[in-house]
């Protein structure tokens, strides 16, 4: 028998708690397999949520209460996880809203996924069978889909997870124990993204089950949308390999352009010779920066032969970008033409510049990011 602990963070959720707790304890759970317990992490809610839980404990011996000062959702979960691990020796912990938006009926299904080998189960609103409350208007839906979901999916260039921010999850505790330091620094709702990002980078077996997100019956959401969007953007900037990859690409472009210009203008090198050297310098720099920074979590093993072969492959992939650019430029110059497209403020923008920028945006960036992920810095499984 293994212990599963449901963590219900609550701030002024008396009504929700009074409904959800009896529901959880009446679920058809096989007690030979799972010992199901609940910890309410209440931050001294003025509405008396704590007293209610203390009262319910008389009926439900597997209900526990943890109280403390209000420090945000992430902190509340970390305290709950700690307690579940230290005092209850939990094998798996659940994240769940206390306001009734997460149907308890999903718990058995999530437990089954865990029993079948999943390390991280997500109640997902954006897969078939899941969804947002019908009563939500289009604006609220749009904000939810774009801000909660697409920002993270695009930011991390990881599309196989459909719901990045869902607050209904089952997570194996070995993972939490191993990554506690990464997680404790995120206090608010961005905590949800941080823990999932870590789980992906550690190659956990992540499974989504459809979640029909319910309406909040009482009270208001505690989420500050602007703070959440700001913290999410910052987190993605600091942790996404895609953004770092883009920064490295810009640095490479600077080196390539700068060195070529310098050699040609100052040392009067031939254009081709100067460009060959500047390109190779940019490639070397990009390889190093990507390996130790952008794709640092998938760093190439410290074996000389491995590094040399990967570097050769990297050159080959870079050659691919050069060929794509050359072919694209030639095609556009031949069929569309070489002319001055815009003439503004005394600056003439020649068509080849527009072509080059478009080719880079549409073909080179996706191509390189794909090749780096699938060929050079592959996921280790
Ligand atoms: N103890 C404690 N301390 N509980 C908190 C705090 C806090 O500082 N802030 C929020 N909570 C509790 C709430 O009382 C609720 O039970 C739960 O955490 C989630 O907060 P809600 O206010 O209901 O959030 P939401 O419904 O807007 O957001 C839900 O969806 C998000 C994605 O769209 C949650 O499931 C989020 O976790 C999720 O990221
Ligand atoms: Mn909620």
pLDDT score at 98 = 96
pLDDT in tens, 124-166: 999 999 999 999 989 889 888 887 778 888 888 888 999 999 9
State the pLDDT confidence band at 252, using cuts at 50, 70 and 90: very high
Q: What is the pLDDT of residues 171-197, one digit of tens each?
A: 999 999 998 877 777 778 899 999 999
Q: Cα(138) to centroid of ligand 1, in Å?
A: 22
380 confidence band (pLDDT: 50, 70, 90): low
Atom of ligand 1 nearest to the CA of 13: 14
For 57-71, what is the mean pLDDT? Answer: 96
Q: How far is the CA of 97 from the centre of ligand 2 (A)?
A: 5
Tokens 């289009």 correspond to 138
Averaged pLDDT for residues 37-54 = 96
Convert 183-246 into a string of H (helix), E (strand) and C (coil). HHCCCCCCHHHHHHHHHHHCCCCEEEEECECCCCCCCCCCCCHHHHHHHHHHHHHHHCHHHHHH
Q: What is the structure's pLDDT at 133? A: 93
Of 95 and 344, more confident: 95
* Distance separating alpha carbons of residues 321 and 328, to the nearest angstrom: 10
Run of H or E residues at 350: strand 347-350
Location of structure tokens 């999903």? 106
Distance CA 221, CA 345 (A): 50
pLDDT digits (tens, 9 = 90+) for 265-291: 899 998 888 988 999 999 999 999 999
Alpha carbon nearest to ligand 1 atom 17, residue: 97
The structure's pTM equals 0.83
* Pair 110, 211: CB distance under 8 Å: no
How far is residue 266's CA from residue 263's CA, in Å, rounded to a whole number? 6
Q: What are the pocket residues of ligand 1 if the criterion is a CB atom closer than 6 Å to any ligand atom?
A: 9-11, 13, 41-43, 70, 72-73, 76, 97-99, 101, 148, 165, 167, 189, 192, 221-223
State pLDDT tens for residues 311-326: 999 999 999 998 998 8
Average pLDDT over residues 106-114: 97
Give the separation between CA 114 and CA 5, rounded to whole angstroms: 13
CB 96 within 8 A of CB 214: no
Q: Which residues contact 232 (CB under 8 A, 6 or more apart)?
A: 147, 151, 152, 190, 193
DSSP lists the bridge partners of residue 66 as 41
Quick one: pLDDT at residue 149?
A: 79
Task: Tell which wins on pLDDT, 224 or 211.
Answer: 211
Instruction: Give the pLDDT confidence of 325-377 residue by residue, as tens digits.
Output: 889 989 999 999 888 877 777 778 888 888 988 998 899 989 999 999 889 99
Provide the 3-class DSSP secondary structure of residue 1.
coil
**Distance (Å) from CA 237 to ligand 1 centroid:** 24
Determine the Cα–Cα distance for residues 366 and 178; give it in Å rounded to an integer: 33
Q: Which of 7, 11, 16 to mutate to test the pocket of ligand 1 (most atoms within 8 A of CB)?
A: 11
Q: Considering the chain, what is the average pLDDT of its residues?
A: 92
């Amino acid at each position: 028998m293994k212990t599963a602990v449901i963590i219900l963070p609550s701030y002024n959720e008396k009504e929700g708690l009074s409904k959800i707790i009896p529901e959880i304890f009446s679920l058809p759970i096989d007690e030979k397999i799972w010992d199901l317990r609940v910890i309410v992490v209440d931050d001294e809610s003025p509405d008396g949520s704590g007293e209610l839980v203390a009262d319910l404990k008389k009926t439900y011996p597997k209900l526990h209460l943890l109280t403390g000062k209000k420090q945000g959702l992430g902190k509340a979960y970390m305290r709950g996880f700690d307690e579940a691990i230290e005092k209850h020796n939990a094998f798996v912990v659940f994240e769940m809203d206390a306001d009734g938006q997460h149907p308890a009926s999903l718990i058995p299904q999530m437990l089954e996924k865990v029993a079948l080998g999943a390390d991280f189960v997500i109640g997902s609103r954006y897969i078939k069978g899941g969804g947002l409350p019908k009563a939500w208007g289009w604006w609220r839906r749009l904000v939810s889909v774009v801000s909660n979901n697409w920002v993270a999916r695009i930011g991390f260039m990881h599309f196989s997870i459909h719901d990045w921010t869902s607050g209904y999850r089952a997570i194996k505790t070995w993972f939490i124990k191993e990554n506690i330091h990464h997680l404790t620094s995120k206090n608010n709702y961005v905590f949800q993204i941080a823990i999932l990002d870590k789980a992906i980078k550690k190659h956990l077996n992540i499974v989504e089950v459809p979640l029909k997100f319910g309406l909040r019956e009482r009270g208001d959401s505690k989420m500050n949308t602007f703070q959440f969007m700001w913290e999410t953007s910052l987190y993605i900037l600091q942790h996404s390999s895609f953004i770092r990859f883009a920064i490295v690409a810009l640095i490479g472009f600077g080196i390539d352009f700068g060195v070529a210009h310098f050699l040609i203008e100052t040392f009067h090198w031939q254009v081709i010779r100067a460009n060959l050297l500047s390109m190779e310098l940019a490639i070397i720099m990009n390889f190093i920066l990507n390996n130790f920074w952008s794709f640092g979590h998938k760093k190439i093993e410290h074996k000389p032969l491995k590094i040399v072969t990967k570097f050769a492959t990297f050159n080959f992939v870079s050659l691919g970008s050069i060929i794509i650019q050359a072919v694209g430029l030639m095609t556009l110059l031949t069929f569309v033409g070489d002319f001055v497209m815009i003439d503004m403020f005394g600056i003439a923008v020649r068509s080849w510049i527009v072509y080059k920028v478009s080719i880079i945006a549409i073909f080179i960036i996706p191509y390189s990011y794909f090749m780096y992920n699938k060929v050079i810095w592959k996921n280790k499984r």
